[in-house]
Amino acid sequence: NAGVTQTPKFQVLKTGQSMTLQCAQDMNHEYMSWYRQDPGMGLRLIHYSVGAGITDQGEVPNGYNVSRSTTEDFPLRLLSAAPSQTSVYFCASSYVGQENSPLHFGNGTRLTVT
Amino acid sequence: AQTVTQSQPEMSVQEAETVTLSCTYDTSESDYYLFWYKQPPSRQMILVIRQEAYKQQNATENRFSVNFQKAAKSFSLKISDSQLGDAAMYFCAYRSAWALQGAQKLVFGQGTRLTINP
């Protein structure tokens, strides 16, 4: 059982480059989300989705785009990378409507923008 | 908006001793959930314990227990008989019970790095 799979694990970008962080889950979870983790700031919500075709902004959405065309995949796009986007990114998923459903996290992507 | 504060950036404890990590939160809601997550050097996020606000009884999971003080908006984690494998970053997190469309949006604290001394 793969759970939540994030690729790549590490990435280095130059300022202005674009890239997509991939997230896939095989648990048929309706809810998927992206967080960024920065030292001294914990994890902050970037974007989230409660089902295919539905996305919404979290606390820190600027500079990031998402789409949800399937239940399984929730990619995060950086259209023009900036040094301020250097961070560790986590994808997380869970069932909707089940209060005891825990949030399952991927193993993170460490992104460095130079 | 809800906020979660962990005022201890770093803590250390001798192996086999007990340590308590502090967490306070701010909310105007009466129904919510609180969590402690562990993040070892592998970067994996591991759910340690969960507390429902409507439950007065403090949650316990083996060596991990919480002291939930709803009126004081405090949610501390106690680790008994500390083991080397407990060394990690610990995050406190809040989630509203009334999740719009089921969105499990967690609000995290800043984290506490726990070191276990052998």
Longest alpha-carbon distance in chain B? 47
Indicate if the pLDDT at residue A96 is higher than 90: no
Chain A residues with a Cβ under 8 Å from any Cβ in chain B: 30-31, 33, 35, 40-45, 48, 50, 54, 56, 58, 88, 90, 92, 94-97, 99, 101-103, 105, 107-108, 110
| Residue B56: band (very low, low, confident or very high) from pLDDT cuts 50, 70, 90 | confident
pLDDT digits (tens, 9 = 90+) for B16-37: 999 999 999 999 999 999 999 9
Cβ of B44 under 8 Å from any chain A Cβ? yes
Cβ neighbours, 10 Å, residue A77? 14
pLDDT digits (tens, 9 = 90+) for A33-85: 999 999 889 999 999 999 999 999 999 999 999 999 999 999 999 999 999 99
Residue A28's SS3 state is: coil
Portion of chain B with pLDDT greater than 70, in percent: 97
**Measured between alpha carbons, how far is B50 from A33 in angstroms, rounded to an integer?**
20
Q: In this predicted structure, what is the pLDDT of residue B101?
A: 65
**Measured between alpha carbons, how far is A16 from A29 in angstroms, rounded to an integer?**
33
| Chain A contacts in chain B segment 20-39 (CB below 8 A) | 33
Match 């990619």 to its residue by tokens: A75
Which of B6, B105, B109 has the CB atom closest to A58's CB atom? B105
Q: In this predicted structure, what is the pLDDT of residue B104?
A: 80
The mean per-residue pLDDT over the stretch B110-118 comes to: 97
More confident residue, B63 or B105: B63
Indicate if the pLDDT at residue B80 is higher than 70: yes
Torsion of CA A44, B79, B88, A93, to 10 degrees: -40
Q: In this predicted structure, what is the pLDDT of residue A12?
A: 97
Q: How far is B118 from chain A (nearest CA, A)?
A: 26
Average the pLDDT over each of A44-53, A78-87, B79-88, B102-111 and give the range with the smallest value.
B102-111
Average pLDDT across chain B, whole number: 94
| Residue B90: band (very low, low, confident or very high) from pLDDT cuts 50, 70, 90 | very high
Residue A83's SS3 state is: helix
